Amino acid sequence: MIVAGCDVGSLTAKAVLMNDGTIIGSGITCTGPVPEASANAAMQLALDQAGVTLDAIAHCVGTGYGRRKITFGDTVESEIACHARGAVWQVASVRSVIDIGGQDAKAIRLDERGNVVQYQYNDKCAAGTGRFLEVIADALGIELDALGPLAEQATEHLTLSNQCVVFAETEILSLVNEGKETADIVRAMHQAVARRVVAMARSIGVAGDVAMTGGVAKNSGMFEALREALGMPLVQVPQPQLNGAIGAALVAADAAGRGARESVAAHA
């Protein structure tokens, strides 16, 4: 039975197709001004990869910021629940998830079945979200993808004194004027975001194996800074950016299974 999950975030839309617990197709697109179209495009990529059509999907769950805009979704589920489900499916030992998104950040504690025990969420302040990285990368004239490799080249230890994105941007420009190396500045920026996220994660008492999910987890500099700030092992999941969509597909599988049982019962 084929099920689907679609995660429409502020920056990217992700789709995952699963058949009996195996991923058979996935797609990631940048979110355009029309979330419906971004969701469609991501799902089409996943369908093409799996070589199936939309009709083959028994149940589709939407999640993320734009979940209500998905035209082909059957039901919706919160991002928190989907990230918890996805993470424990990807790495069974995971008991906490830190998800840094483009416009928010979440810390989730979960049980061995991927049920949410406690969570904390920041969408009020841009510090400690992916936007911090975007703003600074833009100010430094660096592509987002280049941040990780650059941070690895850092040699001098710098500390940003500002947490606020707006103030940090000014601070960073003055560091540039002082002739500080871009690599050192980039590492300091990752550490500033990490400090902020870890403060939030500590408030719910992250424990056990911690996984970092979301597209930002692909940035090795951010992963390293978060690992350092946490002071505990950080698990790399195979598909950090697809994690929410995977979780949504797992929720879809539950729903489809229930639906199948119910219809069997109705016919019996």
Partner 1 sequence: MIVAGCDVGSLTSKAVVMRDGRIIGRAVIKSKAKPWESAESVMQMALAPAGLGLNDVCYCVGTGYGRDKIPFVHETVSEIGCHGKGARWLVPSVRTVIDIGGQDCKAMRLDKDGNIEKFIANDKCASGTGRFLEVMAKALGVGLGELGDLSARAKHPVTLANACTVWAQADVIRHLHDGVPVEDIVAGINNAMAARTATLVRNIGAEPDVCMTGGVAKNGGVLASLERLLSLRLKRIRREDPQITGAIGAALFAAEHANGGHR
Which of 135, 139, 173, 176 touches partner 1 by CB under 8 A?
A: 135
Does position 166 interact with partner 1 (CB under 8 A)? The reply is yes
Sole residue written with tokens 């029309």: 34
Residue 82: closest CA among 249, 268, 253: 249
Does position 103 interact with partner 1 (CB under 8 A)? The reply is yes
Distance separating alpha carbons of residues 86 and 245, to the nearest angstrom: 8
Q: Can you state the percent helix, strand and coil of the chain, rounding each to 5?
A: 50, 25, 30
Does position 200 interact with partner 1 (CB under 8 A)? The reply is no
Stretch that binds partner 1, among 19-27, 73-81, 125-133, 150-158 (CB under 8 A): 125-133
Does position 83 interact with partner 1 (CB under 8 A)? The reply is no
**The two structure tokens encoding residue 18:** 């699963």
Which of 11, 165, 198, 210 touches partner 1 by CB under 8 A?
A: 165
Stretch that binds partner 1, among 34-42, 73-81, 160-168, 256-264 (CB under 8 A): 160-168
Does position 139 interact with partner 1 (CB under 8 A)? The reply is no
Which of 14, 106, 131, 196 touches partner 1 by CB under 8 A?
A: 131
Which of 98, 126, 235, 249 touches partner 1 by CB under 8 A?
A: 126
Distance separating alpha carbons of residues 28 and 14, to the nearest angstrom: 5
Does position 207 interact with partner 1 (CB under 8 A)? The reply is no
Between 117 and 144, whose beta carbon lies closer to partner 1? 144
Query: Rule CB under 8 A: which residues touch partner 1?
Result: 103, 123-126, 131, 135, 162-167
